[in-house]
Structure 1
Amino acid sequence: MTEHPRGRPRAFDRDRAILEAARLFWRRGYSGTSTRALTAALGLSSSSLYAAFGSKAGLFEEAVRTYAERYREIYQQGVAEPDIRTVLERILIGSVHEFTQPDDTHPGCLISSAVMTDRADTLDTTAYVAALHRANEQALLRRVERAVRDGELAPGTSAAALTGLVQTLWHGLSVRSNLGAPREDLTAAAQLAHRLICRQLASPAP
């Protein structure tokens, strides 16, 4: 009789497993999410879960990095744009789209989830997210400083103040999305903010 190999099934979908795990972690926190709950949600045995992710902590870390890093990508793509108006638009509108992803493809916002007040075995989520925000802010600040030097923005524009304003808007949009504001409303708010900023900071005509 032929023996079938043990381990995770061929139909194992790693991305889907991370999504389902993230939903549990975001809702219950790391400590409040048991291995039993994870295996039930993912449709895996404990041995398959450990084979795929090493441990509950390994799965948690991968879930956090998978979804938090999307915001870094938005900033990196934004600051690479050739003009500052598009930079600001990509960051604000792109972030709204990420905040409001459909439930079947996104676990919700990490920033206000239960894991932010919890501690994992391998990853301090609060410190990780804070470092991510700092990196994003510094990337934007450098890009705004360049725009000031290149004359894209009106003379006297404070790069620090403009960066702080965008970051404040970003966090406000994130909070409103967590409170259930629809994508259309958040997009309209982000677009209005973008127009007002660009109108205020537009370089004078030659």
Structure 2
Amino acid sequence: MVKKTAGRPRLFDRELALRRAACLFWRHGFSGTSTRMLVASLGISNSSLYAAFGTKADLFDEAVRTYALRYSAIYERAVGETTLERVIERVLIDSVYEFGRVEEGHPGCLTSSAAMADTSATFDVRGYVADLQRFDEDRLRARIERAVIEGDAAPTTDPTVLTGLVQTVWQGLSARSDLGAGREELLAVAHLGLELIGRTCLTEVPR
């Protein structure tokens, strides 16, 4: 008789677990997401959940921080573009695609969702997200200032005002995605915003 060997245990996919947890928090909020729901969605036991992430609040914090860094990475890539037009385009368009990653079950932007205000335990992570967004805003403003100096933006462009406009459009897209707006609708809004910004703030750059 051939003796069966035990199969190798399935490796724990932390990134997948964070995505699944984030989707639950998105849909049900922090308070509405029970440990039982998390265990069922992540496919692990209670003890494994606590061993991997700590408390439910710890898991929530890690999920939010993870997604906040994904949004921030868009700014990091965008400011490396050669023209200001492409910088702003990447900030807005890439963000729309990140908000609407339907293949991962995203129902919007986690950092602007109601889950962020659901419990006082999220105080530290809310501060983290706010600091990260201010850092991204400063990074964008510095890039716009450079564009004005280099002649890639109209000389009358106020970098602080233009940065505020881009951030306002970004926040609007984020909020609308959280309310259920689809990708096509958000892209249409983003492209209109880009067109209006191009008419008033950008100069024609030879290509």
Offset at 1:72? 0.2
TM-score when normalising by structure 2:
0.85
Q: Is 1:147 the counterpart of 2:147 in the alignment?
A: yes
SS for the counterpart of 2:102 is coil
Between stretches 119-128 and 172-181, larger displacement belongs to: 119-128
SS for the counterpart of 1:196 is helix
Contact 1:84 1:152 in 2 (8 A): yes
Greater than 6 Å deviation, 4+ residue runs: none
For 2:118 and 2:57, the matched residues in 1 are separated by 13
Q: How has the CA–CA distance of structure 1 residues 41 and 203 changed in structure 2, closer, same or farther, with 3 Å as cutoff?
A: closer
SS for the counterpart of 2:75 is helix
Contact 1:28 1:114 in 2 (8 A): no
Offset at 1:123? 5.6
Partner of 1:185: 185
Alignment of 1:57-206 (within 5 A): 57-106=57-106, 108-119=108-119, 121=121, 124-203=124-203
Between stretches 112-121 and 79-88, larger displacement belongs to: 112-121
For 1:184 and 1:32, the matched residues in 2 are separated by 30
Task: Give CA deviations for 1:15-41 in whole Å, capped at 9, x if unaligned.
Answer: 221122112222333344332332122
Offset at 1:180? 2.2
For 2:192 and 2:89, the matched residues in 1 are separated by 10
For 2:179 and 2:71, the matched residues in 1 are separated by 19
Q: How has the CA–CA distance of structure 1 residues 58 and 202 changed in structure 2, closer, same or farther, with 3 Å as cutoff?
A: closer
Contact 1:57 1:120 in 2 (8 A): no
Identity %: 56
Q: Which amino acid aligns with 2:53?
A: F
Task: Give CA deviations for 1:37-88 in whole Å, capped at 9, x if unaligned.
Answer: 3212212111111222233333222211121111100011001111111101
| Stretches of structure 2 lacking an aligned partner (at least 5 in a row) | 1-5
Contact 2:113 2:175 in 1 (8 A): no
| Stretches of structure 1 lacking an aligned partner (at least 5 in a row) | none
For 1:108 and 1:197, the matched residues in 2 are separated by 25
Q: Which amino acid aligns with 1:201?
A: C
For 1:51 and 1:107, the matched residues in 2 are separated by 28
Contact 1:96 1:183 in 2 (8 A): yes
SS for the counterpart of 1:124 is helix
Offset at 1:148? 1.0
For 1:60 and 1:130, the matched residues in 2 are separated by 16
Q: How has the CA–CA distance of structure 1 residues 32 and 124 changed in structure 2, closer, same or farther, with 3 Å as cutoff?
A: farther
For 1:189 and 1:120, the matched residues in 2 are separated by 34
CA RMSD of aligned residues (A): 2.4
